[in-house]
Amino acid sequence: MEVLSAEVVVIGGGVIGASAAYYLAREGAEVMIVEAKDLASGASGACDGFLFLQSKIQGPHMDLARESLRLFPDIASDIDVDIEYDRCGSLVLARTAEEIKSLKAQVKKLKGAGLEVEMVGPDDLKELCPAAAPGIKGASYCRDDAQVNPTKLTLGLAKKAQDLGATIMINCRVENIIITNDRVRELRTTAGSIHTRRVVCAAGIGSNQIGKMAIIDVPVMPRKGQILVTEPVERILKTIVAEASYLGVKHGLEGLEPQTEEARKLGLSFTAEQTKDGNILLGSTREYAGFDTETTPEAIKTIARNAVEFLPRVSELDVIRSFAGLRPYSPDGLPIMGTVKGIKGFYLATGHSGDGISLAPITGRLIAELILDGETSMDISPFSLSRFK
Amino acid sequence: MRGPAEKTGRYKLLVDCPQEIPCDPCASSCPTGAISLEGGLCGRPRLREEMCSGCLSCLEVCPVSCIYLVEEVEGGSLLNLAFDRLPRPKKGDEVVLKDGEGKVLGRGRVVRSRKSRKDSGLCILTVRAPTDMAARVRAVELEGEGASHPQPEEAEGTLPDEAEGFSICRCEETSRAALEEAMEAGVRHAPNLRRLTRVGLGLCQGRSCAELLLKELMEKAGCDPAEAGIPRARVPLRPVTLRELSGRMREA
């Protein structure tokens, strides 16, 4: 087999790997993506397209997301694929007085962090989300939030990287990482050896396995999210929508826990998004089921029940499909980014949990800065692997 | 032109619809409601002959041109069918009549030929044919046209190369040309082809196009069937409303 080489090899052709390759290639680095299956074949191709700033927790996570959101318009105009980026705004719907109270507290904190977010009452809600059930007491609204087509984003970034000189190897599985004198030297893959001194692990749920090859523990585990797809219809949703317990499920915020036993068991909080084609994506669960990607009757029923309750107008729409994706979940839900102590040339860009799409641009840019300049324009120490030790 | 009232009750609708797939343009396009799908969206079309006005709307919209309307007239039958090749037969042309397996049944004469009112490139032909064979005819060819076409044995399992507008996916109307464009851009895996071209993302979830897609991938992109990653259908296998899925009974 021929021996390949590259300055930087990115393991993983998901949205994170594609973004890293894009920013590296833009700076003229010789970069190669090595993907075990196909681009966007993991979490990046089986998720929703939320760019959901108001769902983040104030602090480094929020700063990262906000910086990332700023990069989307540039990406949309720079790459040749229509990524269906739409600054549609977001709504978090509250049904009970307790939820309103907790949501208000959260909005206050987000405002304090400089986010353009506000509480809206039933009258404004009618305007922003005519499909919402009359019983919904209020919502928090963030006009900066947006949606995007995740697959097209991934493929578009990879294609642009390729146009800028990157090599993309699909159906190419990494079997071993050769490290000598604490420095990455070579990757052994199913397509042969690749000589390289720098490797980015952007392998999503495969990161744990890649980490083992470098004798490090990357604590990423698969968390399943199930989503229903309706038939395409005329525009019903102006914004992306989530229920208040989304924040409870995601961050354990007080007063925002799921309200039913089934929802608690499935880690389910209701989300809805209408794609450019008109299909409505209804989500989503957070389950630990290993690498299983089956959809289940309980989840489908519970999601459908939520949809009917929150958006009665969708009741008579046909569901035509369901799917499940595995999110690369880290123990604290935050990404794992940066160098690894003791292994020169090994970089991590993984564990984005449910935020891979929204954090992809900034992650790619920071990884490129780290590799090419040795320093980053934002502090990434809160995301280092060493926080778990 | 004869009025519809005068014409009703004389038509026989023949539909070569071997798969039960969710496809209803024939029924939904029928202005008199003469066509219904037996047993719901996936059922096969049935004509209530007394209601048919012979307008041929169903021929124009059938995505696979598999509808034939036979009208009994004095001294023979008039066979109406959609013709999807060039050159289009003209009024007065003699055509070879063939059955579903490509065997020659006999000859007929074109009494009417018009371009479809839809932007499909189809031509709607009315052919006078002997009554004993009209119902068995599934294709007509211009004299000599068959010479350049593959014989039935060779033709089995191949798709006509010239048919660029050929829909691989009937639900989402994904054309073969769109699929080829995506494959040329380097997309090799079925899941990404789906998301980019929408092939297989419609109501039937690819149950009617998965094999065609796999064939295209193997032939045009040299994909290994195992690597192509043809997705399987997921729950719900047939469209179900959210209300039904949520376990709530439909309100009376």
Judge whether B188 is closer than 8 Å to chain A, CB to CB. yes
Higher pLDDT, A331 or B84: A331
**Residue B160 — pLDDT band, cuts 50, 70, 90?**
very low
Whether pLDDT at A114 is above 70: yes
Q: What residue ranges define each of the domains in chain B, with the CATH number in brackets?
A: 4-143 (3.30.70.20), 167-228 (1.10.10.1100)
Kindly write down the DSSP assignment for every residue of A111-161, as one continuous string: HHTT--EEEE-HHHHHHH-TTS-TT--EEEEETT-EE--HHHHHHHHHHHH
Burial of A291 (0-12, 13-18, 19+ CB in 10 A): exposed
Average pLDDT of the segment spanning B111-135 = 84
**Residue A224 — pLDDT band, cuts 50, 70, 90?**
very high
Contact between chains at B234 and A321 (C-beta distance less than 8 A): yes
Nearest chain B Cα distance for residue A173, angstroms? 13
Whether pLDDT at A275 is above 90: yes
Contact A93, A139 (CB under 8 A): yes
Average pLDDT of the segment spanning A79-101 = 95
Judge whether B205 is closer than 8 Å to chain A, CB to CB. yes
Residue A253's DSSP bridge partners are none
**Residue B15 — pLDDT band, cuts 50, 70, 90?**
confident
| CA A150 to chain centroid | 9
Closest residue, chain B, to A314 (C-alpha): B242
**Residue B145 — pLDDT band, cuts 50, 70, 90?**
low
Burial of B225 (0-12, 13-18, 19+ CB in 10 A): exposed
Segment A58-67, tens digit of pLDDT: 899 999 999 9
Contacts of B202 in chain A (CB under 8 A): 320
Higher pLDDT, A224 or A231: A224
Average pLDDT of the segment spanning A33-40 = 94
Nearest chain A Cα distance for residue B234, angstroms? 6
Encoded amino acid at A331, one letter: P
Strands A318-329 and A221-230: antiparallel
Contact between chains at A320 and B229 (C-beta distance less than 8 A): no
Average pLDDT of the segment spanning A230-248 = 93
Kindly write down the DSSP assignment for every residue of A10-49, as one continuous string: EE--SHHHHHHHHHHHHTT--EEEE-SS-TT-SGGGSS--
Whether pLDDT at A136 is above 90: yes
**B104-115 sheet: strands from edge to edge:** B11-15, B67-73, B76-83, B123-129, B104-115, B94-98, B139-142
Contact B10, B54 (CB under 8 A): yes
Nearest chain A Cα distance for residue B192, angstroms? 8
Q: Minimum mean pLDDT among A71-75, A197-201, A260-264, A285-289: which range? A: A260-264
A 287-306 → B contacts, CB under 8 A: 295, 297, 300-301, 304-305
Average pLDDT of the segment spanning A2-13 = 94
Average pLDDT of the segment spanning A116-142 = 95
Nearest to B235 among A37, A151, A295 (CB): A295
**Residue B250 — pLDDT band, cuts 50, 70, 90?**
very low
Segment B17-60, tens digit of pLDDT: 777 777 888 988 899 999 988 887 778 888 888 888 888 989 98
Q: What is the 3-state secondary structure (H, E, C) of A251-271?
A: HCCCCCCCCCHHHHHHCCCCE
Average pLDDT of the segment spanning B135-160 = 63
Residue A291's DSSP bridge partners are A289
Contact A138, A119 (CB under 8 A): yes
Residue ranges of domains in chain A: 4-46+151-220+333-388, 90-143+221-329
* For testing contact with chain A, the best of B242, B244, B248, B250 (most A CBs within 10 A): B242
Which fold is adopted by the domain A90-143+221-329? Answer: D-Amino Acid Oxidase; Chain A, domain 2 (3.30.9)
Whether pLDDT at A142 is above 80: yes
CA distance B112 to B90: 7
Contact A72, A147 (CB under 8 A): no
Contact between chains at A320 and B192 (C-beta distance less than 8 A): no
Judge whether B115 is closer than 8 Å to chain A, CB to CB. no
- At A58 the pLDDT is 86
**Residue A22 — pLDDT band, cuts 50, 70, 90?**
very high
Burial of B166 (0-12, 13-18, 19+ CB in 10 A): middle
Average pLDDT of the segment spanning B136-149 = 74
Burial of B175 (0-12, 13-18, 19+ CB in 10 A): middle
Which fold is adopted by the domain A4-46+151-220+333-388? Answer: FAD/NAD(P)-binding domain (3.50.50)
Query: CA separation (Å) from B207 to A177, B212, B234?
Result: 41, 10, 11
SS3 A328: strand
**Residue B146 — pLDDT band, cuts 50, 70, 90?**
low
Sign for the CA dihedral angle at A233, A238, A239, A242 comes to negative
CA distance B209 to B178: 14
**Residue B147 — pLDDT band, cuts 50, 70, 90?**
low
Closest residue, chain B, to A163 (C-alpha): B185
Predicted complex ipTM exceeds 0.95: no
Nearest to A304 among B187, B202, B245 (CB): B245
Strands A183-189 and A174-180: antiparallel
Buried (b) or exposed (e) across A181-219, using 16+ Cβ within 10 A? eeebebbebebebbebebbbbbbbbbbbebbebbebebe
Contacts of B235 in chain A (CB under 8 A): 295, 297, 300, 322
Contacts of A152 in chain B (CB under 8 A): 195-196
Contacts of B24 in chain A (CB under 8 A): none
User: How many CA atoms lie within 13 Å of A212's alpha carbon, on the beta-carbon side?
Assistant: 7
Which two structure tokens, joined as six digits, stand for A98? Answer: 């307790």
Contact between chains at B245 and A231 (C-beta distance less than 8 A): no
Q: Minimum mean pLDDT among A103-112, A178-187, A231-240, B13-22: which range? A: B13-22
Cα–Cα–Cα angle for A299, A303, A309, rounded to 5 degrees: 145
Name the average pLDDT for chain A: 95
- At A345 the pLDDT is 97
Average pLDDT of the segment spanning A128-134 = 95
Whether pLDDT at B249 is above 60: no
Burial of A246 (0-12, 13-18, 19+ CB in 10 A): buried
Judge whether B40 is closer than 8 Å to chain A, CB to CB. no
Contacts of B248 in chain A (CB under 8 A): 305, 308
Name the average pLDDT for chain B: 79
Encoded amino acid at B170, one letter: R
Closest residue, chain B, to A46 (C-alpha): B191
CA distance A260 to A305: 11
